[in-house]
A and B are shown apart, each in its own frame.
Chain A
């Protein structure tokens, strides 16, 4: 294990009878990295995370967190992990303050440190005014912010976000990501993210795509797009003869009132087209392929359709 890797997973397997939830996967996560774990429901993301947290026993394989073996040193690993679960696991009858205080006590945080962390998180996540409100009285967005505060209250080194922004309003989503970006800058926090939101995965340093328990891709978003997704030439202003010419040249395109969109294999193809129809194209842009296309091309499954 290199010093830069904060998590190293080797040949991890977990079967539930005949279902191969996690089937011999290996990957590493670097310190301070935003690492995205992409996959459909049941692909094996949550199983991997539960094993990493020591919540679920594995069938085989090895997991090291900061050089420590999950099998032997889980009690030393746990204080380094902060987890935001898919669904809130906090005590809905207790107030925000009570929830956070109890969790801080379980991590042996001193009163002063708890107060300091609470003030910081309440300020950044804007929940000072709801500290004494019981959780069941909070909106979904407010509750999610408290989930994040709970995961961060003990200053973990690794933050695991299991579908953290599902159902969040855009304002809260921005707030959450702003705090995470700040923490990454100031504390070298490593973030492991599982998400269905492609724009979130897009921000990651590394993306691992898991399908039916197996890793099918592991690279940076840019490399994945280059390998697996076509680019798009979008033409906003054009000569009226352009559509007929494209048809004549047997170039596939889609057109609506405002623009023509042509899917191209790479940037060079886009450049060639622009040069070829230079006099007929007045305004255009070339966009890199999307993560949705990457996912579709790798797994044959449409992330949007399945997750909606």
Chain B
């Protein structure tokens, strides 16, 4: 047991080093967040600022710092939510090892297959969480510059949400990674995840702007639940500020909150925060179960072939 833990630690160390040494992989995994920043700076920030002011009743004006903080919070809630998944998919060393065949060299060592798989998952989770925490810190610095309205509880919950979403992203990546063994498949999956995930999780644009059918469909996805969690904790403080300091009426503040996905509404019912967490953690448990099942099946397939060979020997 002790020896297996030492091997696990050596493997995790290796996987993390490999990720950070490969500048290309590191850069690609940050591509989606960077695209979001560029989109935000070029036009999204203006669009969202206009949307907020258009929702305000005549005679009410809100401070520039409130708008900046609101838009910044919205941007960073998208960036962190998307990064938790895209970074996990791009930093999956198991897939890289399968593509460049390094896994063959690991398979001939006396390391249990389960130890190897756990090492891939833990290192993937660690790198994803680390990078997302860095993004989180950057977001706090940005908000501190333009207007910081987060409470200690918001910061803590953002950290917990990042942990849960990194876990979700890493488990998804590990599960999908079991079925990828070629560069072509990896490119296809990375491209799909990078381009699609932002849409299906409501990170690129608020899901309130989608049609009813799509909105309901997206609201079912655990990824959307994760994004909404970030939205809530990034925007709660600034919306409170709008109401208390900028004197925005509560119904208007609520409209703004809904327009920017500050709440998840499913079949006209508001989904409470605990339910968002439950869905996210439940999904993690489900994916973990599938991951264990499929890893086990691939192992069984190997054993089954050996047993088949034993039977044929007896003839």
Q: Which residues does A use to contact B, with CB under 8 Å?
A: 11, 13, 53-55, 57-62, 71, 75, 78-79, 81, 83, 85, 87, 89-94, 98, 102-103, 105-108, 134, 150
Q: A94 to B14, Cβ gap below 8 A?
A: yes
CB-CB < 8 A to A58: which residues of B?
Answer: 305-306, 309
Question: What is the CA–CA distance of A89 and B101 in the complex, to the nearest angstrom?
Answer: 6
Q: A81 to B108, Cβ gap below 8 A?
A: yes
Query: Is residue B255 contacting chain A, with contact meaning CB distance below 8 A?
Result: no
- Option from A59, A81, A98 in Cβ contact (under 8 Å) with B17: A98
Query: Is residue B268 contacting chain A, with contact meaning CB distance below 8 A?
Result: no
Binary flags per residue of B279-315, CB closer than 8 Å to A gives 1, else 0 = 0000000000000000000000010011011101100
Q: A55 to B107, Cβ gap below 8 A?
A: yes
Task: Please tell me which stretch of B4-12, B150-158, B188-196 contacts chain A, meaning at least 4 of its Cβ atoms lie within 8 angstroms of it.
Answer: B4-12
Binary flags per residue of B95-109, CB closer than 8 Å to A gives 1, else 0 = 000001110111111
Q: B309 to A59, Cβ gap below 8 A?
A: yes
Query: Is residue B38 contacting chain A, with contact meaning CB distance below 8 A?
Result: no
- Option from A13, A85, A91, A106 in Cβ contact (under 8 Å) with B109: A106
Given contacts A102-B10, A105-B7, contact A83 B108 (CB under 8 A): yes
Q: A93 to B302, Cβ gap below 8 A?
A: no
Among B21, B305, B306, B309: residue with most chain A CB under 10 A: B309
Query: How far, in Å, is B287 (CB) from chain A's closest CB?
Result: 28
Q: B110 to A85, Cβ gap below 8 A?
A: no
Question: What is the CA–CA distance of A83 and B306 in the complex, to the nearest angstrom?
Answer: 22
Given contacts A89-B101, A93-B22, contact A59 B110 (CB under 8 A): no
Among A57, A58, A61, A75: residue with most chain B CB under 10 A: A57
Query: How far, in Å, is A155 (CB) from chain B's closest CB?
Result: 13
> A77 — nearest CB in chain B belongs to which residue?
B110
Instruction: Give the A-B pair count, Cβ closer than 8 A.
Output: 88
Q: A57 to B110, Cβ gap below 8 A?
A: no
Q: A107 to B109, Cβ gap below 8 A?
A: yes
Question: What is the CA–CA distance of A190 and B73 in the complex, to the nearest angstrom?
Answer: 65
Given contacts A89-B101, A89-B104, contact A60 B14 (CB under 8 A): no
Question: What is the CA–CA distance of A90 and B101 in the complex, to the nearest angstrom?
Answer: 9
Chain B interface residue count, CB cutoff 8 Å, equals 31
CB-CB < 8 A to B18: which residues of A?
Answer: 91, 93-94
Given contacts A85-B105, A87-B101, A108-B7, contact A60 B21 (CB under 8 A): no
Q: Which residues does B use to contact A, with CB under 8 Å?
A: 3, 6-7, 10-11, 13-14, 17-18, 21-22, 100-102, 104-112, 302, 305-306, 308-310, 312-313
> B308 — nearest CB in chain A belongs to which residue?
A59
Q: A60 to B6, Cβ gap below 8 A?
A: no
Given contacts A59-B305, A106-B111, contact A90 B102 (CB under 8 A): yes
* Contacts beyond the supplied A85-B101, A94-B14: 19 A-B pairs with Cβ under 8 Å: A55-B104, A55-B108, A57-B302, A57-B309, A58-B306, A59-B309, A60-B312, A62-B313, A71-B310, A81-B108, A83-B105, A89-B104, A90-B102, A90-B105, A93-B22, A105-B6, A105-B7, A108-B3, A108-B7
> B106 — nearest CB in chain A belongs to which residue?
A106
Q: Can you give 13 A-B contacts (C-beta < 8 A)?
A: A57-B305, A58-B306, A59-B305, A59-B308, A61-B309, A62-B313, A78-B108, A89-B104, A98-B14, A102-B14, A103-B105, A107-B110, A150-B105
Question: What is the CA–CA distance of A91 and B110 in the complex, to the nearest angstrom?
Answer: 18
Query: How far, in Å, is A173 (CB) from chain B's closest CB?
Result: 22
Query: How far, in Å, is B230 (CB) from chain A's closest CB?
Result: 32
Question: What is the CA–CA distance of A85 and B100 in the complex, to the nearest angstrom?
Answer: 13
Q: A53 to B108, Cβ gap below 8 A?
A: yes
Query: How far, in Å, is B29 (CB) from chain A's closest CB?
Result: 15
- Option from A11, A54, A94, A108 in Cβ contact (under 8 Å) with B108: A54
CB-CB < 8 A to B313: which residues of A?
Answer: 11, 60-62
CB-CB < 8 A to B13: which residues of A?
Answer: 102
> A106 — nearest CB in chain B belongs to which residue?
B109
Given contacts A58-B306, A60-B312, contact A106 B110 (CB under 8 A): yes
CB-CB < 8 A to B21: which residues of A?
Answer: 93-94, 134
CB-CB < 8 A to A83: which residues of B?
Answer: 105, 108
Question: What is the CA–CA distance of A59 and B305 in the complex, to the nearest angstrom?
Answer: 6
Q: B104 to A85, Cβ gap below 8 A?
A: yes
Question: What is the CA–CA distance of A297 and B308 in the complex, to the nearest angstrom?
Answer: 37
Question: What is the CA–CA distance of A53 and B306 in the complex, to the nearest angstrom?
Answer: 14
Question: What is the CA–CA distance of A60 and B315 in the complex, to the nearest angstrom?
Answer: 11
CB-CB < 8 A to A107: which residues of B?
Answer: 109-110
Query: How far, in Å, is B14 (CB) from chain A's closest CB?
Result: 5
Question: What is the CA–CA distance of A83 and B112 in the complex, to the nearest angstrom?
Answer: 18
Given contacts A53-B108, A94-B18, A105-B10, contact A59 B102 (CB under 8 A): no
Question: What is the CA–CA distance of A92 and B96 in the complex, to the nearest angstrom?
Answer: 12
CB-CB < 8 A to A103: which residues of B?
Answer: 105, 109
Q: A59 to B312, Cβ gap below 8 A?
A: yes
Query: How far, in Å, is B311 (CB) from chain A's closest CB?
Result: 9
> A82 — nearest CB in chain B belongs to which residue?
B108
Question: What is the CA–CA distance of A90 and B107 in the complex, to the nearest angstrom?
Answer: 12
Query: How far, in Å, is A119 (CB) from chain B's closest CB?
Result: 20
Query: How far, in Å, is B150 (CB) from chain A's closest CB?
Result: 38
